[in-house]
Structure 1
Amino acid sequence: MDNNRSFYVVDIQEHEVRRYKIGDTQGTVVAGGNGAGNRLDQLYEPRYVFVDRDYSVYESDRSNHRVMKWEEGAKQGVVVAGGQGARKSLLQLDRPNGVVVDQLGTVYVADFGNHRIMR
């Protein structure tokens, strides 16, 4: 939930993140929504979402092994972690799950497949 009391839902089947404002029944796609894939406007089995104070959406894109940031109103995201396949190097993730961003903008990721927390 963000400061405007909007609620965010990850839809694994539709490969998208939706924002619901109070009273909404359909919601608005804020990340993905272009089918499964690895382009910057696509997600592949997103899992977790975090919304910062600027209403940017961070989502763990599990099967693309990356975390993406989608600024409010963006049509495509930016890879902020991972994205080079599932490996153990410090630049790669393996099935990322939880994602949190602190007040300084530091991204923390639960790197499920590598059994570690990445910053």
Structure 2
Amino acid sequence: YAPADVLIDKETDSLIICDAGNRRVVRWSRRSGTTQGEILIDKIGCYGFAMDEQRYLYVAGNGLSEIRRYKLGDKHGTLVAGGNGVGARLNQLNWPAYIFVDRQQNVYVSEFYNHRVMKWNKGAKEGIVVAGGHGVRSALTQLSYPDGIFVDTLGTVYIGDRYNHRVMSWTKGATQGTVVVGGNGPGAGANQFYFPIGLSFDRHGNLYVVDCNNHRVEQFSIEKDC
């Protein structure tokens, strides 16, 4: 009910789904004849999640104020971000939307109601603001309800800036971002979005954006290091 995110587990040839409306994470085999899924994690407020190269799941939960890492089969997980209630301090989260995990198991999270993207280094007790965090407007230092994120090997963060109808990039250590695509108001033009909520890159560097209220997925060719 109301699935919010999905990923492919290549090792088991299955789909892992954030079943948000039913407050659970489920796994469905992609093999023919599958008629029902398997509950991996139950009673969790899941909106977005990610899997690292060691096949650990990172899931937003507990009233959407923390992120836990789960070994497949584990029901409780280990706290890796937040866990100090809902808020805007560096050790808090407020509606973590999407999660990205790099090869060092550092966790990047877009915070819908704090209008920022945080990086939590592995083992850290608080996060670092890597994008936004300066109120909710359309300046290059700001984000407005950020959603999907992607981080390349140089540490550049790409963000679906939902209510600003644009995709932003923030290089490592930058104090402001750059508009990659959009930022021309809501609309259906080739250079417009109407709530860009998800994004990803393929191995050729093409950007794919889920353009929610235009009911489309768009592809853009940009120069970047995946």
Indicate the TM-score class for this superposition, using the shorter chain for normalisation: over 0.9
Structure-2 change in CA distance of 1:95 and 1:56 (3 Å):
same
| Distance in structure 1 (CA, Å) of the matches to 2:103 and 2:60 | 19
Say which SS state the counterpart of residue 113 (structure 1) adopts.
Answer: helix
Range moving further from structure 2, 12-21 or 28-37: 12-21
Choose from 91, 110, 123 the match for 1:73: 123
Q: CA deviation at 1:77?
A: 0.2
The total of aligned residue pairs comes to: 119
| Distance in structure 1 (CA, Å) of the matches to 2:161 and 2:111 | 11
1:12–1:47 contact (8 Å) kept in structure 2:
no
Choose from 8, 20, 40 the match for 2:90: 40
Query: Is residue 73 of structure 2 the alignment partner of residue 23 of structure 1?
Result: yes
Q: CA deviation at 1:29?
A: 1.3
2:64–2:96 contact (8 Å) kept in structure 1:
no
Query: Could you tell me which residue of structure 2 aligns to residue 61 of structure 1?
Result: 111
**C-alpha root-mean-square deviation of aligned residues, in Å?**
1.0
Q: CA deviation at 1:13?
A: 1.6
Q: CA deviation at 1:4?
A: 1.1
Runs ≥4 residues deviating over 6 A: none
Q: CA deviation at 1:11?
A: 1.9
Supply the AA of the counterpart residue of 2:158.
Y
| Distance in structure 1 (CA, Å) of the matches to 2:125 and 2:137 | 28
| Distance in structure 2 (CA, Å) of the matches to 1:41 and 1:14 | 14
Map Cα deviations across residues 31-75 of structure 1 (whole Å, 9 max, x no partner): 111000000000011111000011100000110000000000000
Residues 40-119 of structure 1 correspond to what in structure 2 (within 5 A)?
Answer: 40-119=90-169
Percent of residue pairs identical: 58
Say which SS state the counterpart of residue 64 (structure 1) adopts.
Answer: coil
Question: TM-score by structure 1 length?
Answer: 0.96
Higher strand share: 2
Mark the runs of 5 or more structure 1 residues left unpaired by the alignment. Answer: none
Question: TM-score by structure 2 length?
Answer: 0.51
1:12–1:46 contact (8 Å) kept in structure 2:
no
Say which SS state the counterpart of residue 42 (structure 1) adopts.
Answer: coil
Range moving further from structure 2, 9-18 or 44-53: 9-18
Supply the AA of the counterpart residue of 2:92.
Q
| Distance in structure 2 (CA, Å) of the matches to 1:14 and 1:54 | 24
| Distance in structure 2 (CA, Å) of the matches to 1:69 and 1:12 | 19
